[in-house]
Structure 1
Amino acid sequence: MTAKNQLDLLVHNFQQKRPLRAGSLIITLYGDAIVPRGGTVWLGSLMKLLEPMGISERLVRTSIFRLTKESWVQAEKVGRRSYYSLTGPGLRRFEQAFKQVYNTNSEQWVGRWCLVFLSQLENNKRRIIKEELEWMGFGCLAPNVMAHPRLERTEILPLLQERDTLDDTIVMQSEPQELLTSRALRLQVKESWNLEHLASSYAKFINQFRPLWQELSIENTLTPEECFIVRTLLVHEYRKVLLRDPQLPDELLPGDWEGRSARQLCRNLYRVIYQCAETWLDENLENASGPLPAPNANFFLRFGGLK
């Protein structure tokens, strides 16, 4: 199959998903392409970019309305046009969601854990916070006790404050332990995180995108618009898996962990297509002042450096 055939298959598979979560794809588009260019974009630009992926104008409007209700984005009217940017809470959630996507640095783990105790929350709030923490990669060490090996205590507090649960939640940072990979800890990790399901999700991602990478590694025959579509779907699908990944230290992961191969594949494919995709974005993104500015310097630090 050619690269174009592989792209058509990716788009087809995305369109077959039910429900088709256009709002999540819009957040991916903001994180990957719009935030590095100032963060505000005309609604018409979003519609034009998403239409080839099967997202109708009506669905874009509905999704943007929901994202506004959920405090992800905010609107600014200039004449008859609407321009959307991430809100303060939306930017915080974006930073948490995308923190690991482009990061290739694997800092050595020293044995610290962020622990969150939910036992003093009422049932409804406890359920909500537990779900939010799970989306950040937390695992359940014990009833009402959530743990993460990478996040710091200060990274959790804004979420709790936003949900009005800060006073009823206990957040601690454990001290490093001498034996980082004890038998008991390995067994606890297997109980607290569904690593088999996570590995299966990574394997599915690899099977989706590796054939396209193999074609493009020989020659990039895709147009700028097609490169943009690949890049958006690549980051979107990778981000969905990564959100559930607690980034456990290598010492606590299987030797053949699929997450390593998935990260390398995402990095390699992104590096091949990003410049061509940027050409398409240069021509099709607008804010109230005209075309969006070029990406900021941090953009080019993605995946260990794009240039």
Structure 2
Amino acid sequence: MLRADGKSARSVYSSPMKDGTPDWFENCVTELTASGTQRVWSVLVTIFGDLAPKESDQISGALISKLTGMAGIKAEATRVALHRLRKEGWIESTRVGRNSIHSLADFGRSQSAAAVPRIYARESIDPKTWHLLLADSSNNSRQELSDLLLTGDYVSLNSQTAIAAGPAPSGIEDLLVLHSDDISAPDWLRDKCGPAELKNTYDHLLGTFRNVLALLPKGGVADPFQSTVLRVLVVHNWRRAILRHPDLPKAFLPEGWNEPSCREIVHQLLDSLPRPSLADLESELGS
């Protein structure tokens, strides 16, 4: 398991199981947290980004503790992660009586909004055009390429070449830019764009999401907290995969690339686990 600071520690997570045989919800949580690599601060980013993305949205500390506790995260780890997010400018917190109220700060809101199209689009993007950037040996050219690689929109083919979907951004000065809508992609390019580790991640996620979908009650999830926890964990697992690579044409990706299949089942799950009203959750928490 990982602590909020990313270091290994068993104490961050506790088993969500009650005494006796685990029920369907506990089995779902186990499926969605089995990798043990979820960082608590990152789970909180998912909670805020999915449940409270607007400037007016606020989540009480009590509700956050309820959701993370049901996900098997210990209270101390949640407190440490909230402190980290405040320190790094992701969230803002205020005190109301004996409770804390949290919301996304401007930085956190902009970061979350930028990720929304990648996370929630119902269909995988298959761009019809792409462009290649080629740097020469000059420092200016290499620096310009390095700066563009930081955007996360590009796949680096080598130290002087990168590709991305769609047209090139304006203002490029020291790079050779080539646009095309046709390509013969060799296996080495497919392996570079869809590396084995990421391909395996999608293979694993597909199995996990299928198992969770099969475990959900046929009549829907009656408990709003259970529904919300499972929704957050589904979005979190999906977010951690889909934001690790840019959109690229299918021709650039290896055979058996399961991102589109994962996306389809993610939306089946999210349709079964609709985004709740924060006011309803807070009211239910206080009842």
Same fold per TM (> 0.5)? yes
Where does residue 57 of structure 2 map in the other structure? 39
Q: Are the equivalent residues in 1 in contact too, given 2:28–2:212 (CA < 8 A)?
A: no
Q: Are the equivalent residues in 2 in contact too, given 1:137–1:244 (CA < 8 A)?
A: no
Q: Are the equivalent residues in 1 in contact too, given 2:134–2:177 (CA < 8 A)?
A: no
Give the total of aligned pairs. 259
Give CA-to-partner distance per residue, 1:15-47, whole Å, 9 cap, x none.
565565111001111111111583332222211
2:273 aligns to what SS in structure 1?
helix
CA distance in 1, matches of 2:59, 2:77: 17
Q: Are the equivalent residues in 1 in contact too, given 2:193–2:252 (CA < 8 A)?
A: no
TM-score, length-normalised on structure 1? 0.69
Deviation, 1:264, is 0.6
Give CA-to-partner distance per residue, 1:116-151, whole Å, 9 cap, x none.
97x859xxxx99996x54xx3632122165443259
The one-letter code matched in structure 1 to 2:184 is S
CA distance in 2, matches of 1:86, 1:251: 38
The one-letter code matched in structure 1 to 2:260 is R
Aligned pairs for 1:243-258 (under 5 A) are: 243-254=243-254, 256-258=256-258
Q: Does 1 or 2 have the higher relative contact order (CA < 8 Å, sep 6+)?
A: 1
Where does residue 211 of structure 1 map in the other structure? 211
Where does residue 183 of structure 2 map in the other structure? 181
Aligned pairs for 1:65-84 (under 5 A) are: 65-84=83-102
Structure 2 gap ranges (5+)? 1-21
Inter-CA distance 15–112: structure 2 relative to 1 (3 Å threshold): closer
Which structure carries more helix by proportion?
Answer: 1
The one-letter code matched in structure 2 to 1:10 is C
Inter-CA distance 129–177: structure 2 relative to 1 (3 Å threshold): closer
1:109 aligns to what SS in structure 2?
coil
Compute the RMSD of aligned alpha carbons.
3.8
Q: Are the equivalent residues in 2 in contact too, given 1:31–1:94 (CA < 8 A)?
A: yes
- 1:226 corresponds to 2:244: no
Where does residue 197 of structure 1 map in the other structure? 197
Give CA-to-partner distance per residue, 1:188-234, whole Å, 9 cap, x none.
63353343322211111111121231344844355322211211111
Where does residue 278 of structure 1 map in the other structure? 276
Q: Are the equivalent residues in 2 in contact too, given 1:22–1:55 (CA < 8 A)?
A: yes
CA distance in 2, matches of 1:171, 1:93: 29
Inter-CA distance 56–77: structure 2 relative to 1 (3 Å threshold): same
Q: Choose 17-26 or 217-226, whichever is displaced more.
A: 217-226
TM-score, length-normalised on structure 2? 0.73
Q: Are the equivalent residues in 2 in contact too, given 1:7–1:212 (CA < 8 A)?
A: no
Inter-CA distance 56–242: structure 2 relative to 1 (3 Å threshold): same
Inter-CA distance 42–218: structure 2 relative to 1 (3 Å threshold): closer
Q: Choose 217-226 or 235-244, whichever is displaced more.
A: 217-226
Where does residue 96 of structure 1 map in the other structure? 114
CA distance in 1, matches of 2:165, 2:267: 24
Q: Which of 102, 105, 117 matches 1:87?
A: 105
CA distance in 2, matches of 1:191, 1:243: 18
The one-letter code matched in structure 1 to 2:158 is A
The one-letter code matched in structure 2 to 1:177 is S
Q: Are the equivalent residues in 2 in contact too, given 1:213–1:269 (CA < 8 A)?
A: yes
CA distance in 2, matches of 1:49, 1:189: 42
